[in-house]
Chains A and B, each alone.
Chain A
């Protein structure tokens, strides 16, 4: 950690103004929310910016609300505000529980969900769960608003498809219908998770059959992944699906582009996917 190099903070009043500022500063500027990633990277001297555009001064971006079948989380909502939000706790408790285990209290108090997604650090809890929940993000730049899926937003490690003047203004998550069973599990040794695994299923017959399934894995790979083939193995009668779990895990691991790093070798991560898919499934059907 080094002293921060000199930089200037700019405080736009609107999204349009923020976009103008970002466009004006180009490579030398960057959007700044909680700063928990950005300032750390700047203190380690791996990123250098002369201008930071503080998105927190734009009014109306911190809200959290449920509306028309969607949970909408504003572009500067912090992890902590999501974790304790009555709306989230009531309408999508799984998301609140995941948020409560992101990082540590200090990071959650200042770090934002949007900042997590837009930094595209491979060890993200929310990105993995949002992928399985089929969430979308609203972004806005000088050329107007767009809507992106999580896959579209995060095409690679530390990469997003945002233009340099675009701001993520909201994350929108479809609210669960009756019969949804979902779980998110992570395995962590170091400061960031080694593995995150999300499983979201629509069930019928009081949980006896699974109509649709979505499974996503993150942290073990450069960016969170789903596998349609694995998901097809997770549909059908529950006992049959249970028997398919190992195979589904293998398929998911095959498609995930597992990496060897200090968190572990690819073969270990493959094994963890299998362990945690089974655990996630068991979690989704508690009290059996």
Chain B
């Protein structure tokens, strides 16, 4: 660890999170707590078909039910622009003309309460004409496949990448991304050893504890939405588009959000809720159940075919991958997931030749979008599995192989990008130490390490305002949303550090697009780095204004006023900020407004904003009789530059690793034909406390090498990305059996072990048919 540049008072300390007490005592307010006078409630009728033309919708009887205020359908949206989407405007507010997946909203009923709205749905008749559907990537790409979206699309300005969009060009390809450097074909021809395989990473549900909620009001001052969204400013943009309004007339207010994990990125139910309010001429609340939330956003599942080559010295020579992402019925943020998956497929290694082709494909299934890790977890299963595979093939230890090939600090390992701003090599060594890499293990246990680097931070546009009040207390206005990750605590720590006031004197005012300045998004692990830095700069702006005010009241040149913590000094005169403001304004109150705008310029001009690193090690035990794999030891190193709040940073690392472990071991959304069969928590298995490893090591690397405040970089996704591959590799080292798909469900592992014992190919080509055929057999 390099030496700290200065002594810190508040940052780099694990101060208790500012919202902790409010949350554990139930005082914290979420969108579902919002109640407006005269508010009504909406419920949705959803499509029973994967792909069908809507012939007619009869709503008269529903409208006649007592307590029903309005019934909204796709053809009752005259006056609105019915399509939205920040990357591809393919998403109708309600199904228009046809439905594209089972569970798509077709009709909304607005009534005096939820039950009345729900019961009125029984009185609606929709006539459909079924059309052939495509339920897998293979079907969607087949010749003559039915097409989900026939229209052409312009690329949206918030899509997050430079390339154009592929959607609407007569195929079901929603987005394709290609990354090449060197000459991969030539390298494979000359390689000393090559491994090759096909891998499948499942579709998953982020399971935020709070499902989607929106309360909308439409009146002469415009549209106001209280929403559980992560990116209020981009949602504002989409809602403004639907209602043809300037953004100043659209207000998104985000109270506390009960978890996001990417699933609340971008626009979800806000346009629909606002349309309901517009139709019913009163405020409307729409809150989804967990089952409905799964039908709103899931993650892209991925089929990855990959090859990796080394030279005779054991140096990585080339990688080639073809990736198919199942994007579902609407683009949502999957075009960006596609781009990111391509960028992240080669891994954080020195590789002279690479060719990555990634396709995000529309299918008649629930829409996929952002999910913590953003394509990285999907492609890392293949990439990090193959690092172990090739190391074994040339007789090397997987850790030694990684240490010999991992990108060095400062190295440009991905073309035209920021050099690696972290120290993966030392992180890997740290993990190996924590894990006890060289200690012997009994039979039935195995260890593995894994690492990733993600181009994180999104597009760096962020602004912040800091108000220093007459009594020296501070309000921070931030457009970043508090999702539980602790961002409000972090920005308060930074403001307390910079203005020189106690943490308790800082109040954070959360996202309200009518009040808080613009921030592109709360995602891609960017908030500490970008919002943290904007707040720091806004504080410095306020401090420099107050220093000038001090010079004014002290009647001296500014240069004679020196800064001290919480105020200024000139000779024997010491003034704290409240004294400066009181003397300057001549009142016991008054304020200074500091502000900062960040954009892609200066040290933020090179993307990514930072490389988010993931580095961890696992030790598993395997019950070979049942096939159960148990994670008994986990070591995570968070290479975060500087932890503004170490406890929160470690909490993010553990949370991400646990979430990834869920998918590695248990979680998988399963389609049986057109139907998603396990979207209830009774059947979808999320991790429990009892699944946590008995031995846990969380460590931080703080080299202050990021572009964020005090050299900080983001965290929060890193340790999700390599954990599935680490579990797979550890299982291999425990049993000699390699699976190329997760989750490592006991039955799946048992079958692979049994097949290996009988000398059969241990990993049949990934197929989603096994659950289905089982059900059919049953």
Contacts and interface: CB of A to CB of B under 8 A. Distances in A.
Interface of A: 1-6, 44, 187, 189-192, 259-262, 264-266, 268, 271-272, 275
Nearest to A43: B289
Contacts of B118: 2-3, 5
B393 interface: no
Interface stretch (B331-339, B676-684, B705-713): B676-684
B290 A1 contact: yes
Contact of A268 (B290, B670, B747): B747
B29 interface: no
Given A2-B289, A189-B746, A275-B625, A262 B751 contact: no
Contacts of B674: none
B774 A1 contact: no
A190 B680 CA distance: 11
Contacts of B43: 2-3
A1 B778 contact: no
Contacts of A3: 43, 114-115, 118
A135 B191 CA distance: 69
Contacts of A272: 626
Interface string B618-646: 00000001101000000000000000000
A266 B778 CA distance: 8
Nearest to A191: B682
Nearest to B623: A275
Interface string B675-695: 001101111010000000000
B670 A262 contact: yes
B777 interface: yes
26 contacts: A2-B118, A3-B115, A4-B115, A5-B118, A6-B119, A187-B626, A189-B666, A189-B745, A189-B746, A190-B685, A260-B775, A261-B774, A261-B775, A261-B778, A262-B670, A262-B677, A262-B678, A262-B683, A262-B771, A262-B775, A265-B777, A268-B747, A268-B751, A271-B750, A275-B625, A275-B626
Interface residues on B, range: 20 to 34
Max chain A Cβ within 10 angstroms of own Cβ: one of B115, B625, B626: B626
A268 B685 contact: no
Given A1-B289, A3-B114, A265-B774, A191 B683 contact: yes
A284 B115 CA distance: 52
Nearest to B774: A260
Given A1-B290, A2-B118, A192-B682, A260 B778 contact: yes
Nearest to B670: A262
B607 to A, nearest CB: 42
B774 A6 contact: no
B96 to A, nearest CB: 25
A40 to B, nearest CB: 8
A6 B118 CA distance: 11
Interface string B718-752: 00000000000000000000000000011100110
5 closest residue pairs by CB, A with B = A260-B778, A1-B289, A260-B774, A3-B115, A3-B114
Nearest to B119: A5
B129 interface: no
Nearest to A195: B626
B130 interface: no
B560 interface: no
Nearest to A261: B778
A1 B291 contact: yes
Given A5-B119, A189-B685, 12 more contacts: A1-B291, A2-B118, A2-B289, A191-B683, A191-B685, A260-B775, A260-B777, A261-B775, A262-B677, A265-B774, A265-B777, A268-B751
A134 to B, nearest CB: 29
Interface string B9-34: 00000000000000000000000000
Contacts of B119: 5-6
A190 B775 CA distance: 17
Nearest to B114: A3
A266 B625 CA distance: 16
B87 to A, nearest CB: 31
B210 to A, nearest CB: 14
A242 B771 CA distance: 35
Nearest to B665: A189
Contacts of A1: 289-291, 680
Contacts of B750: 268, 271
B190 to A, nearest CB: 45
A187 B627 CA distance: 11
B129 to A, nearest CB: 26
A206 to B, nearest CB: 29
Contact of A259 (B289, B666, B778): B778
A122 to B, nearest CB: 12
A44 B778 contact: no
A259 B776 CA distance: 11
Given A260-B774, A264-B747, A5 B678 contact: no
Contacts of A2: 43, 118, 289
A4 B113 CA distance: 12
A187 B625 CA distance: 12
A1 B771 CA distance: 24
Contacts of B625: 275
Contacts of A190: 666, 682-683, 685
A4 B625 CA distance: 43
A262 B671 CA distance: 11
